[in-house]
Amino acid sequence: MPVDSIHHLLLLAFSRSNRAMLARTRAVGLKPGQPKVLEHLLHHDGCNQQAIADACVMDKSTAASVLSRMEEGGLIERAPTPGDRRGTRVEMTALGREAALCVQAFGDQVDEICLQGMSNEEARQLTALLGRVIDNLKDAE
């Protein structure tokens, strides 16, 4: 396998990026899976568990487990969806919002490391190209 194959480079980039984020988020007591849920809730607070699972690319059981741990840790609360007796909304607590802002700051730090030596135009191109790669992979599922 050539070292410059796209899938291999994506795996390497993910592993390095994930390692950098885990080092930062573990230092503030977050468990795996929780940072990406918090980032999603920062922009979509009050969504349901299925929306979280879809956005964070988690299966239902993993999402349920991560959310249960987050609820036990005081990061989120579950509340009934108005007008839907079976629906449940996931909402951040004040502690969860504080943790989400930390995760966002850590993400900015890791992004800065990733983009060192790139121009703003190169960074925009990389973002656009990665978006296309993700869309292509999603369409192929």
**Domain regions of the chain by residue span:** 6-140
The per-residue pLDDT for 2 is: 60
| Residue keyed to tokens 């790669």 | 133
Distances (CA, A) of 66 to 37, 77, 79, 137: 8, 13, 17, 25
Query: What is the DSSP code (8-state) at residue 30?
Result: P
**What does the pLDDT look like over 68-77, one tens digit per residue?**
999 999 999 9
Confidence tier at 4 by pLDDT (50, 70, 90): confident
Give every CB contact of residue 108 below 8 A, 6+ residues apart in sequence: none
CATH topology for 6-140 is Arc Repressor Mutant, subunit A (1.10.10)
Question: Coil, strand, or helix at residue 4?
Answer: coil
Q: What is the CA radius of gyration of the chain?
A: 17
pTM over 0.75: yes
